[in-house]
Amino acid sequence: MFESAFCQIVFYIFALLAAGCALGVVISRNPVTSAMNMALCFGFVAAIFFGLGAQFLGIVQLIVYAGAILVLFLFVTMMLDIKAEEKPASRNCWLPSAPALGAVLIGTVFFGLVSNLSLALPGAQDSGCPAKALCSSIGELALSPTAAPAAEAPAAARFGGALPKLDPAAAARALKPGISPEEAAAATSYPDVKLLAQCLYTRYNIAFVILGFALLAGTVGATALARRIRKN
Amino acid sequence: MIPLAHYLILSGLLFSIGLAGIIIRKNILVVFMCLELMLTAANISLVAFSRAQGTAGLPVYDVQILSLFVTGIAAAEVAIGLALIVALFRARKTVESTALNTLKD
């Protein structure tokens, strides 16, 4: 009980910090500040991935985004002339009213998401909609006469209920099909990386190799583009 | 426990912040950072859905692999995009999107 409350508090803190750092990327005048905010935001997103049980993706998020991509951004910012950006005459936006436009856009999307997920809007009467699920989880659907509780239960569990728990015994069975039930029940840690690798190197092996070629093409293309072109 | 809906709200919030940044900012570097924010928001959605749709105590690992591919392609895209920005700065001495109006005039 204490552990679940702790997880919940940590998730909301990290979510707020991630959203705040994302706002910092958009608002700050200096591109270096933007890049630092972006790195912090990706760190918090990696923490949310850890909370979701996707440890490998969290580590990849930290290494690739907060490591490699941040360094690329900082080097390019260093190569370019950022003094022009800090001049008071040059505005950050292409319109004087652009900050208001951005605030309206973010506010509209957030309000739409929250209201669609928590209120029963007319468009949310479809049983596959998240709003229906949240309504049933807060008990409003039980009051409406047309509600069919049996049909709503899976959707409620999917959107409004708790996420299904990760099971180390199921993971042990998936890794070794012939394992005995006692041995599977004795497994305590959850081997996320092994399971991900088992899927990646069997079913998605060719796609993974193609991704490697795409990265190679990207490297070659970046080198060719950034090379100084000789005139003669 | 944290419901799936809250992960989706966080993902949508990050996505809309990134979209607002792409629309309102002039500096192409910052526009690129906002693009990365949007990709990350999509990744949060994917991982949350992989947990929520999982059966028998295991998440759906196909979705996590899709998220891994998104990260890999984003890395390649950033490399090419930053090289383009460097080439653009050499040619035009500016990184502001409002200065790129050759096709308009």
Distance, in Å, from the CA atom of A174 to the CA atom of A102, rounded to the nearest integer, reads: 47
Beta bridge partners of B101: none
**DSSP state, residue B98:** G
| Per-residue confidence (pLDDT) for residue A150, from 0 to 100 | 43
Domain annotation covers residue B45: yes
Instruction: State the complex-level ipTM.
Output: 0.92
Smallest CA-to-CA distance from A43 within A23, A24, A71, A15 is with A15
Residue A196 Cα, gap to closest chain B Cα (Å): 6
- The residue written with tokens 């509209």 in the block is A108
Residue pair B65/A199 in contact by the 8 Å Cβ criterion: yes
Percent of chain A with pLDDT over 70: 69
Residue B25 Cα, gap to closest chain A Cα (Å): 5
- E-assigned strand segments in A117-229: none
Number of domains in chain B: 1
Average pLDDT over residues B35-60: 88
Residue pair A80/B95 in contact by the 8 Å Cβ criterion: yes
Smallest CA-to-CA distance from A91 within B55, B98, B47 is with B98
Residue A116's pLDDT band, with cuts at 50, 70 and 90, is low
**Mind listing the pLDDT tens digit for each residue in A127-160?**
555 555 555 554 444 444 444 444 444 444 556 6
When mean pLDDT is compared across A88-102, B1-15, B68-82, the lowest value belongs to A88-102
Domain annotation covers residue B73: yes
Average pLDDT over residues A22-31: 89
Average pLDDT over residues B43-57: 86
pLDDT above 70 for A222 = yes
Average pLDDT over residues B51-80: 88
Domain annotation covers residue B82: yes
Cα Rg of chain B, angstroms: 18
pLDDT above 90 for A126 = no
Domain annotation covers residue B88: yes
| Per-residue confidence (pLDDT) for residue A92, from 0 to 100 | 61
pLDDT above 80 for B19 = yes
Average pLDDT over residues A77-105: 68
| Per-residue confidence (pLDDT) for residue A85, from 0 to 100 | 53
Average pLDDT over residues A29-55: 91
pLDDT mean across residues, chain A: 76
Average pLDDT over residues A196-200: 88
Domain annotation covers residue B78: yes
Domain annotation covers residue B62: yes
Domains and CATH numbers, chain A: 1-87 (1.20.120.1200), 97-164 (no CATH), 168-226 (no CATH)
Query: Within the 29-88 window of chain B, which residues sit less than 8 Å (CB to CB) from chain A?
Result: 29-30, 32-34, 36-37, 40, 43-44, 47-48, 50-59, 61-62, 64-65, 67-69, 71-80, 82-87
Distance, in Å, from the CA atom of B89 to the CA atom of A183, rounded to the nearest integer, reads: 62
Cα Rg of chain A, angstroms: 24
Percent of chain A with pLDDT over 90: 25
Range of the domain at B44: 27-95
Domain annotation covers residue B76: yes
Residue A180's pLDDT band, with cuts at 50, 70 and 90, is confident
Domain annotation covers residue B49: yes
Q: Which residue of B has its CA nearest to A163?
A: B52
* Cα distances (Å, whole numbers) of residue A130 to A102, A123, A149, A210: 26, 11, 15, 36
Q: Do A163 and B51 touch (CB under 8 A)?
A: yes
Percent of chain B with pLDDT over 70: 99
Average pLDDT over residues A39-53: 92
H or E element: which one contains A61?
A: none
Q: Which residue of A has its CA nearest to B95?
A: A80
Residue pair A52/B51 in contact by the 8 Å Cβ criterion: yes
| Per-residue confidence (pLDDT) for residue B81, from 0 to 100 | 92
When mean pLDDT is compared across A3-12, A18-27, A43-52, the lowest value belongs to A3-12
| Per-residue confidence (pLDDT) for residue A138, from 0 to 100 | 47
Which residues lie below 8 Å from residue A8, measured CB to CB, with a gap of 6+?
B1, B2
